[in-house]
């Protein structure tokens, strides 16, 4: 399983010299299964760069697009995703049940004002809505993908991938400390034993009181989840748009101090735009760039 971050920022894009290391594009994650099947999670602004990459590396685009929820920062890049305009592109959409309708409204809300000059019906690609994973696990080429509802306004889904004994869990836009909704033990069970957990850590502990109910977590809460779930590696994501690279590095350092105090071997870092991770044979290999030649056509 190869994982690549195309967008790691939360809420709104934050380009500029202060966000070069961890990235300024909003959420988009590419998961390349061992079979060569490509799964994309969310259509934040990072998906535009992914589309440009696919234009030069893949002859025919066939993807399974998982949408965590219907908020703008996770959909806003879709009108600029090049494969949507190609007749030979095949895109299966799944995820949060309301996200497909939200995807269509990004192009045109049919109220006469519109949001984009191209209507959804004018897209040339073959798009099909599956609406499966919210109800039961989905199996793609022997890879099982499970979903879990998260604590987020208007709803959201987290995903757990299991391939040949390796497990990756992606949870964005989730408020672990929220009193209502699903309880903390549910999340511990969902991430249990994962080789890699990618989790929302938008806020600092000293900030969270002003943002309770907004549907995001602190790095302390994400670390606690990883420790209690026996996770091997944790990547903090959905970086606050006001957070500089230096501030994200300080968050990672503070998170590592918690792990050291707990005597755990959990490894922690911040998710970086453009970073690729190879998860196979019990190993997690991280690199700023993996050679395009390694990616199946």
Q: Which pLDDT belongs to residue 281?
A: 66
Q: Which pLDDT belongs to residue 282?
A: 57
Does residue 235 sit within a domain?
yes
CATH code of the domain in which 167 resides = 3.60.15.10
The number of domains in the chain is 1
10 close to 273: Cβ distance less than 8 angstroms: no
Task: Give the mean pLDDT per block of 10 residues along the chain (297 residues).
Answer: 97 98 98 96 98 92 97 95 96 94 79 74 94 96 96 96 96 86 88 98 96 95 97 98 98 98 97 93 62 34
The residues pairing with 236 across neighbouring beta strands, listed in sequence order, are 199, 270
Alpha-carbon distance 152 to 173, whole Å?
A: 6
Q: Which pLDDT belongs to residue 179?
A: 63
User: Among 97, 40, 47, 68, which residue's Cα sits nearest to residue 199?
Assistant: 68
Does residue 170 sit within a domain?
yes
Range of the domain at 218: 2-284
Does residue 295 sit within a domain?
no
| Helix ranges, 61-175 (H) | 99-107
What letter does residue 171 receive in the DSSP assignment?
A: E
Buried b (16+ CB within 10 A) or exposed e, 265-289: ebbbbbbbbbbbbbbeeeebebeee
Kindly state the tokens that stand for 117.
Answer: 């000059």
Does residue 294 sit within a domain?
no
Does residue 181 sit within a domain?
yes
Q: Which pLDDT belongs to residue 283?
A: 67
Does residue 53 sit within a domain?
yes
Q: Which pLDDT belongs to residue 116?
A: 84
SS3 212: coil
Kindly state the tokens that stand for 51.
Answer: 């589309």
Does residue 193 sit within a domain?
yes
């Amino acid at each position: 399983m190869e994982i690549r971050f195309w967008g790691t920022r939360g809420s709104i894009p934050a380009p500029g010299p202060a966000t070069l290391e961890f990235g300024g594009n909003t959420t988009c994650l590419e998961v390349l299964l061992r079979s060569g099947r490509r799964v994309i999670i969310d259509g934040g602004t990072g998906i535009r760069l992914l589309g440009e990459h696919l234009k030069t590396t893949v002859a025919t685009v066939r993807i399974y697009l998982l949408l965590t929820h219907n908020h703008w920062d996770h959909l806003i890049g879709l009108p600029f995703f090049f494969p949507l305009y190609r007749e030979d592109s095949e895109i299966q959409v799944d995820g949060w049940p309301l996200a497909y309708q939200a995807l269509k409204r990004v192009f045109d809300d049919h109220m006469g004002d519109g949001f984009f000059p191209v209507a959804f019906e004018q897209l040339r690609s073959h798009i099909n809505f599956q609406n499966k994973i919210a109800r039961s696990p989905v199996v793609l080429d022997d890879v099982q993908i499970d979903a879990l509802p998260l604590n987020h306004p208007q709803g959201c889904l987290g995903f757990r991938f299991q391939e040949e004994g390796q497990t990756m869990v992606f949870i964005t836009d989730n408020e672990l400390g929220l009193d209502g909704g699903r309880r903390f033990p549910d999340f511990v069970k969902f991430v249990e034993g994962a080789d890699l957990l990618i989790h929302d850590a938008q806020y600092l502990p000293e900030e969270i009181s002003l943002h309770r109910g907004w549907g995001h977590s602190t790095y302390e809460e994400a670390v606690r989840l990883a420790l209690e779930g026996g996770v091997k590696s944790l990547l903090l994501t959905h970086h606050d748009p006001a957070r500089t690279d230096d501030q994200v590095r300080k968050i990672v350092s503070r998170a590592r101090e918690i792990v050291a105090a707990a005597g755990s071997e959990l490894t922690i870092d911040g998710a970086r735009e453009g970073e690729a991770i190879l998860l196979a044979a019990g190993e997690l290999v991280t690199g700023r760039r993996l050679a395009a030649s390694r990616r199946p056509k």
